[in-house]
């Protein structure tokens, strides 16, 4: 049809079929009329024809014959048109049966040709897109989860492709999480083995010296026993921390209750007064009057454990600064608690890993400050199990551990909010 819509149209085909049928009928009727006159002039052959004309009449016979001839001609001349329609119908059936790529064999310049071309283009596009989706599924099946199937907006197949891409990404994440869990388990076993072996080796060494009487006098004996006892306490603390960490991370049930955060933090500071005085430090609790009534729904015993770890770290590593500051305030609808010390900064390279299990910054590996490496990991797990989050920032001026909870002033978090 292209640029000559008025010329290449099915109306002309129908008109030509109609006019052709009329022409054939007219010629046939005229020919029959001429032949009938010739037959009537022949003796012996004219009796049947004469009987028909005399009984029915020549005009009715011509009309009836013309109608029959017109219908026969019309059906014969429109056969190509009907065949094209049937081919298009067959193509649509093939598509409906899922045999994409099928091409309708209709070649004409009218509307039927345009319909056939549209069906063929649609079939080709569907076939190519399905081939692309199939290829994408094969890539995903082979483990190439980064492969993205092109998504065509506004189509159902596009939605299918998008769903496959989302499924691939989710499957990739699940596999990565499983691999990370496996690595975590192996790292945990390695870390536990290393941290248990060190004090245990020392204990066994001193007990061996005592067992074999390789000490000089009772003073040295007591010295060896004292060291073995200290190592045993360190070993017990490591085992206790490890047990508590696995208990929290495995989803222990929370004993939730209303917790007055201002009173909770002040009591925490009072409990650390002996440790602070021993270290030559003071603790300053900075809480504005408007935040005195703030409460959250929390497991108080667990939260005490979390903030005890933060206070212990602040005293251990901030002794040079002489003070620990505890703050409570609101920010963007969240309840924020900060614990700040003014000792040596945490190296920037260590900040991203400070909450990892068994991770210790270099300066904490000494006998005086070394811990189990589980304290901050336990703190992070406790904060997160309460629906909060924890972060750290450190500079030459100060190191601040910040915890945030989804609470508002004067309100109590619900269990649903924590979940």
Residues forming a β-bridge with 326:
285, 339
Task: Give me the tens of pLDDT residue by residue for the chain, a chain 419 residues long.
Answer: 445 555 567 777 788 888 888 888 888 877 876 766 665 555 555 555 565 665 665 667 677 778 888 888 888 888 888 888 888 888 888 888 878 778 888 877 777 877 888 888 888 888 888 888 888 888 888 888 888 888 887 778 888 888 888 888 888 888 888 887 677 667 666 666 766 777 788 888 888 888 888 888 888 888 888 888 888 887 887 777 677 666 666 666 677 888 888 888 999 899 999 899 999 999 999 888 777 777 888 888 888 888 988 998 899 888 888 899 999 988 877 889 999 999 888 888 888 878 876 655 554 433 444 455 677 888 888 888 888 889 999 988 999 999 998 764 444 343 344 34
Shared domain for 303 and 190, answered yes or no, is no
Shared domain for 296 and 366, answered yes or no, is yes
Ramachandran region of residue 57, left (φ > 0), alpha (ψ -120 to 50) or beta? left
Whether 75 is in a domain gets the answer no
Shared domain for 229 and 375, answered yes or no, is no
What CATH number is attached to the domain comprising 378? 3.30.565.10
Shared domain for 307 and 326, answered yes or no, is yes
Whether 133 is in a domain gets the answer no
Q: 179 exposed, middle or buried (CB, 10 Å; 0-12, 13-18, 19+)?
A: exposed
Domain boundary among 216, 249, 282: 249
Whether 307 is in a domain gets the answer yes
Shared domain for 408 and 261, answered yes or no, is yes
Per-residue pLDDT, 413: 40
Shared domain for 262 and 408, answered yes or no, is yes
Shared domain for 202 and 318, answered yes or no, is no
What CATH number is attached to the domain comprising 219? 1.10.287.130
Domain boundary among 200, 230, 249: 249
Instruction: Check: CB of residue 283 under 8 Å from CB of residue 324.
Output: yes
**Three-state SS across the chain?**
CCCCCCCCCHHHHHHHHHHHHHHHHHHHHHHHHHHHHHHHCCCCCHHHHHHHHHHCCHHHHHHHHHHHHHHHHHHHHCHHHHHHHHHHHHHHHHHHCCCCCCCCCCCCCCHHHHHHHHHHHHHHHHHHHHHHHHHHHHHHHCCCCCCCCCCCCCCHHHHHHHHHHHHHHHHHHHHHHHHHHHHHHHHHHHHHHHHHHHHHHHHHHHHHHHHCCCCCCHHHHHHHHHHHHHHHHHHHHHHHHHHHHHHHHCCCCCCCEEEEHHHHHHHHHHHCHHHHHHCCCEEEEEECHHHCCCEEEECHHHHHHHHHHHHHHHHHHCHHHCEEEEEEEEECCEEEEEEEECCCCCCHHHHHHCCCCCCCCHHHCCCCCCCCCCHHHHHHHHHHHCCCEEEEEECCCCEEEEEEECCCCCCCCCHHHHC
Shared domain for 184 and 321, answered yes or no, is no
Shared domain for 242 and 315, answered yes or no, is no
Number of domains observed in the structure of the chain: 2
Contacts 24+ apart (CB under 8 A), 236-245: 237/372, 238/195, 238/196, 238/199, 238/372, 238/374, 239/196, 241/372, 241/374, 241/375, 241/378, 242/192, 242/372, 242/374, 244/305, 244/374, 244/378, 245/357, 245/374, 245/377, 245/378, 245/381
Ramachandran region of residue 44, left (φ > 0), alpha (ψ -120 to 50) or beta? left
What values do phi and psi take at 203, rounded to 5?
-60, -45
Shared domain for 274 and 242, answered yes or no, is no
Whether 15 is in a domain gets the answer no
Q: In Å, what is the CA distance from 315 to each residue of 225, 322, 323, 368?
A: 29, 9, 8, 12
Domain that holds residue 338: 257-418
Whether 287 is in a domain gets the answer yes
Domain boundary among 184, 217, 249: 249
Shared domain for 218 and 344, answered yes or no, is no
Shared domain for 205 and 318, answered yes or no, is no
Whether 18 is in a domain gets the answer no
Per-residue pLDDT, 62: 72
Whether 110 is in a domain gets the answer no
Whether 284 is in a domain gets the answer yes
If one counts every other C-beta atom within 10 angstroms of the C-beta of residue 368, the result is 6
Per-residue pLDDT, 56: 61
Q: 28 exposed, middle or buried (CB, 10 Å; 0-12, 13-18, 19+)?
A: middle
């Amino acid at each position: 049809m292209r640029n000559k819509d008025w010329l290449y149209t099915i109306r002309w085909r129908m008109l030509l079929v109609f006019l052709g049928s009329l022409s054939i009928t007219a010629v046939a009727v005229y020919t029959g009329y001429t032949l009938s006159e010739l037959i009537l002039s022949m003796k012996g052959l004219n009796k049947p024809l004469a009987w028909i004309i005399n009984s029915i009449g020549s005009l009715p016979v011509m009309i009836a014959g013309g109608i029959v001839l017109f219908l026969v001609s019309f059906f014969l001349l429109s056969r190509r048109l009907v065949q094209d329609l049937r081919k298009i119908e067959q193509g649509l059936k093939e598509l409906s049966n899922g045999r994409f790529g099928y091409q309708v064999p209709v070649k004409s310049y009218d509307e039927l040709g345009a319909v056939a071309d549209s069906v063929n283009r649609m079939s080709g596009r569907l076939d190519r897109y399905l081939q692309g989706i199939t290829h994408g599924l094969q890539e995903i099946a082979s483990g190439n989860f980064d492969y993205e199937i092109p998504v065509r907006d506004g189509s159902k197949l596009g939605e299918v492709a998008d769903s496959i891409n989302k499924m691939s990404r989710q499957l990739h994440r699940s596999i990565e999480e499983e691999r990370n869990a496996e690595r975590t388990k192996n790292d945990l076993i390695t870390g536990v083995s290393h941290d248990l072996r060190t004090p245990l080796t020392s204990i066994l060494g001193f007990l061996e010296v005592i067992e074999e009487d390789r000490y000089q006098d009772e003073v040295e004996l007591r010295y060896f026993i004292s060291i073995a006892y200290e190592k045993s306490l360190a070993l017990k603390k490591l085992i206790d921390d490890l047990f508590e960490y696995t208990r929290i991370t495995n989803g222990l049930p929370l004993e939730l209750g209303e917790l007055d955060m201002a009173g909770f933090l002040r009591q925490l500071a009072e409990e650390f007064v002996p440790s602070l005085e021993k270290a030559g430090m003071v603790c300053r609790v900075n809480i504005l009057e408007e935040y005195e009534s703030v409460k959250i729904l929390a497991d108080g015993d667990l939260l005490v454990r979390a903030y005890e770890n933060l206070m212990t770290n602040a005293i251990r590593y901030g002794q040079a600064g002489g003070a620990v500051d505890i703050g409570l305030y609101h920010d963007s609808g969240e309840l924020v608690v900060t614990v700040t010390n003014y000792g040596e900064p945490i190296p920037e390279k260590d900040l991203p890993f400070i909450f990892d299990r068994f991770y210790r910054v270099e300066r904490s590996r000494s006998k005086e400050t070394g811990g189990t490496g589980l304290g901050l990991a336990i703190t992070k797990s406790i904060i997160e199990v309460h629906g909060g989050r924890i972060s750290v920032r450190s500079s030459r001026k100060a190191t601040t551990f910040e915890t945030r909870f989804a609470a508002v002033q004067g309100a109590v978090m619900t269990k649903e909010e924590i979940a």
